[in-house]
Structures are given as C-alpha cells and as structure tokens.
Amino acid sequence: MSKTLIKISGVSKQYLQGNTPVPVLENLNLTIEEGDFLALMGPSGSGKTTLLNLIGGLDQPDSGTIDFDGQCINAFSSSLLTKWRSQQVGFVFQFYNLLPILTARKNVELPLLLTALSGQQRKFRADTALEIVGLAERAEHKPGELSGGQQQRVAIARAIVSDPSLIVCDEPTGDLDRQSADEILNLLQVLNSEHGKTIIMVTHDPKAARYAKHGLYMDKGKLVSEVVSEIVDEAEMAEARQQTIEEPGT
C-alpha cells in the first residue's frame, strides 16, 4: 500500500432540478491507494453514486480535479475519457446490466470488441474471466437462464476481462440474497488480494463493508468519517460499523 492511484481534490458537483442547482458533492477531497478495497457507505441520496461515477469517468466534476495514476482525467475529452474507461475501469452495477440477448461469454467479450484482439483471443480471455468468477461451464447461457448471483458474477467477469486496474461497484449485492451476496463479496476480495485490483464499492450493507479493507462514510455530499482503516478484528469491526451505520442505512 504505497502508491496513490486516485487523488480527488476539491471536487464539487451539482445537478439542476428544474432551474435550481442542487449541490451533491461539495469540495470533496479523497486519496485512494493502489490495491485498496474501499467500501463507500452512507444514506440514500448522499452522493455515493455521483462520486463513483466521477471516479469511474462516467461523469465530469463541475470543479476540482480527479487524478488517476498521475493523469488528470477530468481534463480528458469525452472520447478520450471513454477510451480511458475501457482500459482502466471495470464496472459492476446493482442490476448487473448484462445484455439479455447475448450469452454469458458474449457479454464478457463486449469490452474486448474495442481492442485489436482476434475472435479467438477474445474468446480465450472471456473464458479465462469466467473461470476466475467460477462460471466457466455457464459460458453459453444467457442472463435469463442464470440466477442473480450468477449474473452478477458474469458482470464481474466482464469488468475484469480487459484487465483494468480499478473496479468500481455500485451496490453490487443490493439485489442479492445473503448467500449470493457473500459469494460475490468473497470474489471481490479475491480479485483485490490475489489479482491486485483496486476496488471501490458503494454499499449500504454493513456486512458487505466488512469485506473491504477500508470503509468511508458519506453524508450529504461530504465524507464525514473514515470508519475503518485496517481490518484487525473482523467481528469487532462489524459491530462498530453496525452501530455507525444502522441509523442512516436502509
């Protein structure tokens, strides 16, 4: 845990509701180390998704800078940002967002269509990614034929297939039962610890946050506390987090 991967300085973001600007993020500062697994918690509407979208390059801040590996990504043109996204970031959403018409393998292959890889190489990489998430034998299945947990694993395979350094997850277990959620979280943990992926995960499930290395609490567009630094005693941490989050959580 040495190198800074993401440095957010003085970032503000507001949305327009009709004609009135609604500030969502205000002068936010945050540094994320390479190899971190960060859980971002906080009540609904506190700006977690907005922040995640800025970090993932899906949106641009109104002011402030976001540096990724020393590059200021908010200075990128929209097409450069899109290209950067395809190379550096993997996305995992609450509702999986797989294309229902494509098989699991074809879904995982999608990001590779943007590369110069041959069909053979794409298939090989997609199969490797599916193997990592433990779904190799479901490659030919369509999303509709898979359980929620399995679909989320396909989504994770898609997120890692182009070998990005950063994975952002927005409520990845929000739509799953406890057991599937634990499987997904274990998988993310493995990706973090064994494959060295930096992971930022938005969640309002304290049990989910337990899998992360760090926890961060957000309220009304501000980072109010660093809940966890290092997980020393897992049970104790869970307790602590429970107390902190119970009130604003779902």
Residues contributing to the site for ligand ADP (CB under 6 A): 15, 24, 42, 44-50
10's contact among ligand ADP, Mg ion, other proteins, none, with CB below 5 to 8 A by partner kind, is none
Cβ proximity to other proteins: between 87 and 229 the closer is: 87
Q: Which of 160, 154, 156, 123 is nearest to 141 (CA)?
A: 154
Interacting stretch for other proteins, rule CB under 8 A, among 76-84, 133-141, 179-187, 188-196?
76-84
Give every strand in the sheet of 71-72, ordered side by side: 20-33, 4-17, 63-68, 71-72
Q: Sign of dihedral through CA atoms 77, 83, 86, 87?
A: negative
**Among Mg ion, ligand ADP, other proteins, none, what binds residue 240 when CB lies within 5 to 8 Å by partner kind?**
none
User: Which range, of 22-30, 98-106, 143-151, 220-228, touches other proteins by CB under 8 A?
Assistant: 98-106
Q: Which of 37, 39, 73, 106 binds other proteins (CB under 8 A)?
A: 106
Which segment (2-10, 47-55, 179-187, 223-231) binds Mg ion by CB under 5 A? 47-55
Q: Contact at 8 Å (CB) between 1 and 35?
A: yes
Classify the phi-psi angles of 10: left when phi > 0, otherwise alpha if psi is within -120 to 50, otherwise beta. left
Distance of CA 98 to the CA centre of its chain: 16
d(CA 39, CA 244): 14
CA distances from 56 to 19, 68, 83, 127, 228 (A): 27, 10, 12, 25, 23
The reply to whether 113 sits near other proteins by the rule CB under 8 A is: yes
Question: Taking CB under 8 A as the criterion, which residues in 26-65 touch other proteins?
Answer: 49-50, 53, 56, 58-59
Which residue, 27 or 97, has its beta carbon nearer to other proteins? 97
Tokens of 50: 């907005």
Q: What are the residues binding other proteins (CB under 8 A)?
A: 49-50, 53, 56, 58-59, 79, 82-83, 85-87, 91, 93, 95, 97, 99-102, 106, 110-111, 113-114, 119, 122, 158
